[in-house]
Amino acid sequence: MDTLTHALSGALLVRAAEPVLPRLKALPVLIRLITGMTAAAFPDIDGAIRLIDTLTYLNWHQGPTHSLLMLPLWAFFLSHLFSKVARGRYSWQLFLIPASLGIAIHIAGDLITSYGLMLLAPFSAERFCVPFAFVIDLWFSAIIILGLVISYILPAKKYIAGFALGCLAIYVVFLASLHERAKDIGLTYAQKMALPYTEISVLPQPFSPFNWKIVVMEGETYHILLVKLASDSSAMLSDNGVLSKMLAVYQPLTSAKWQQFKRFGDFPVDTMLVREAWHQPALADFRRFAIFPQFDRIDYSEKGVCIWFYDLRFKFPLLPPSFRYGGCREEGSANWYLQRQKGAFWID
C-alpha cells in the first residue's frame, strides 16, 4: 500500500482499539493518533535505500522493517523516540501499544499486495504475500478515510472506527473471492490446454479491484490473461485518452484473449545470447528480485550490445515496464555489466 494509506490505517486502528485497550487513553487523543500514524508509516523508511542503489532497494524493500519478528524491536525503538520528542512528559511505555498497532497494520496492509514481505527477517529472506489488492487501491483508502472522518465528527460514537475496520476486513474478503475466481480461470485454462507442470499466479491490477492478471507458467513460457471480473464498464468512457485505453485492455472473460510470452524471446537466433546475458553474475541481484523475469529486447550499437529484462509483475498496459535491467557487453569484450533503464514512473 502507499505510505499515506498506511499512516491513516494506523490512526484508524488506534482509534478502534480505544474501547478495548483503556491504557491508550493515558495519552491525549491527538498524540496517540499521531503515534499510530507515524508508526504505521515507519516501515517504509527502507525507501531511503534508493539513495544507495535502486536494485538494492528493490531487493531489500519490505524487508527487515516489515518483519513480524522484529516488530517488538521497532515498537520499542519508536516508543523511546516518541517519549524523547515529547520531552519526557509521557513515559515510553505509554507509546508502546499505539506504536505496535501502527507497525502491525502496515505489515498487514502490505501482506495483501504482490511484492512480498520478509516476515521472518533477520533469520530468513523468504518473502510472503497473499496478493489480493493492488498497491494503490482507492476503495481501500476511502474506507479508512471515511472511518476517520466520521469518528472525528462523532467522537462519542466509539464504535465508528471499529465498524470501519470491519468494513475493511469485508472488503479484503471480497478481494480474496476475486483472487480465487481469477485462479480458477487459470486452472481451467491449464486443464483445457493440457499444460503439464504448470504454476498459476494471479496478480491484482490498477484502476479497479475487478482487474486481474493471470499468469500460467509452463516451463519457460508464460500464458497471460488480462481480465475484468465484472461487466465491461470501460465503454462508458467516451474519451480516447490513455486512461480509457488502458482500462479497455482488461476485458470480461468472454472476450479476453490469452497471450503467450517466452521468457527468453521468440526468436531462436537470439535466444542463446539472451540466455548468456541472463545468467551472468552482473544480473545476479536482478535475478533475485524478479519473480516473473521476461526478456524485453536487444539493443545493438557501435559500442556493443545490451539485453534488457523486466519482471511481469511490473508491466502494465500501454506503459513501458518498470524496473528494467540489462546485461551489457562492449564490442570485443567478454565482460558483462549491469545497466538500468528508467520507466514511466519516478520510482523506476
**Whether residues 84 and 191 fall in one domain:** no
C-alpha cell read off for 285 = 541481484
| Residue 208: partners with Cβ closer than 8 Å, 6 or more residues away | 228, 230, 247, 250
Tell me the mean pLDDT in the region 201-209: 95
Buried b (16+ CB within 10 A) or exposed e, 257-284: eeeebebbbeeeeebebbeebbebebbe
DSSP count for the chain of H helices, then E strands: 10, 8
Sign, Cα dihedral of 251, 252, 254, 260: positive
The reply to whether 55 falls in a domain is yes
**Separation of alpha carbons 318 and 313, rounded Å:** 14
How many whole angstroms separate alpha carbon 310 and alpha carbon 2?
22
- The pLDDT assigned to 310 comes to 96
Indicate the SS3 state at residue 292: coil
Dist CA 106 CA 9 (whole Å): 8
Per-residue pLDDT band at 102 (split at 50, 70, 90): very high
pLDDT-derived band at 235 (thresholds 50, 70, 90) equals very low
With CA atoms as reference, report the closest residue to 220 among 274, 181, 183.
Answer: 274
The closest alpha carbon to 261, from 329, 213, 211, 207, belongs to 213
Do 252 and 275 belong to one domain? no
Residue 192 DSSP SS3: helix
Q: Which of 217, 245, 262 is the last residue of a domain?
A: 262
* 194 in the same domain as 234: yes
User: In terms of domains, do 279 and 253 share one?
Assistant: no
Cβ(123)–Cβ(141) below 8 Å: no
Do 183 and 290 belong to one domain?
no
152 is a domain residue? no
pLDDT of residue 169: 97
Domain end among 197, 227, 262: 262
Q: Is residue 253 one of the residues assigned to a domain?
A: yes
Q: Is the pLDDT of residue 183 over 50?
A: yes
pLDDT of residue 346: 58
pLDDT of residue 342: 77
Could you tell me if 19 and 102 lie in one domain? yes
Cα dihedral sign, 268-273-276-277: negative
Residue 234 confidence (pLDDT): 45
Is 281 found in the same domain as 320?
A: yes
Task: Assess contact for 227 and 256: CB atoms under 8 A.
Answer: yes
The mean pLDDT of the chain is 93
Does residue 172 sit within a domain?
A: no
Distance between CA 86 and CA 69 in Å, rounded?
27
Burial of 56 per CB tally in 10 Å (0-12, 13-18, 19+): middle
204 and 280 in a common domain:
no
3 state SS of 200: strand
Find the mean pLDDT for residues 209-238. 84
56: enclosing H helix or E strand: helix 54-60
Q: Name every residue whose Cβ is closer than 8 Å to that of residue 59 and which is 6 or more positions away in sequence.
A: 285, 288, 289
pLDDT above 90 as % of the chain: 82
Element (DSSP H or E) covering residue 181: helix 160-192
The yes-or-no verdict on residue 233 having pLDDT over 60 is no
Q: Is the dihedral of CA 107, 111, 116, 121 positive or negative?
A: positive
Considering the domain boundaries, does residue 255 fall inside one?
yes
Domain for residue 162, yes or no? Answer: no
83 and 197 belong to one structural domain: no
pLDDT in tens, 236-268: 455 667 888 888 999 999 999 999 999 999 888
Q: Indicate if 126 and 36 belong to the same structural domain.
A: yes
Residue 155: pLDDT band (50, 70, 90) is: confident
Residues in CB range of 272: below 8 A, 6 or more apart: none
Do 188 and 295 lie in one domain? The reply is: no
Tell me whether residue 221 is in a domain.
Answer: yes
Q: How many domains does the chain have?
A: 3
pLDDT (tens digit per residue) in 268-308: 889 999 999 999 999 999 999 999 999 999 999 989 999 99
Element (H, E) at 306: strand 304-311
Domain residue limits at 232: 177-262
Count of other CB atoms within 10 angstroms of residue 333 = 10
Residue 29 counted as domain residue:
yes
Domain boundary among 208, 233, 262: 262
Q: How far apart are CA 52 and CA 43, in angstroms?
A: 18
Shared-domain flag, residues 209 and 256: yes
| Helical axes 71-85 vs 29-41, angle rounded to 10° | 130
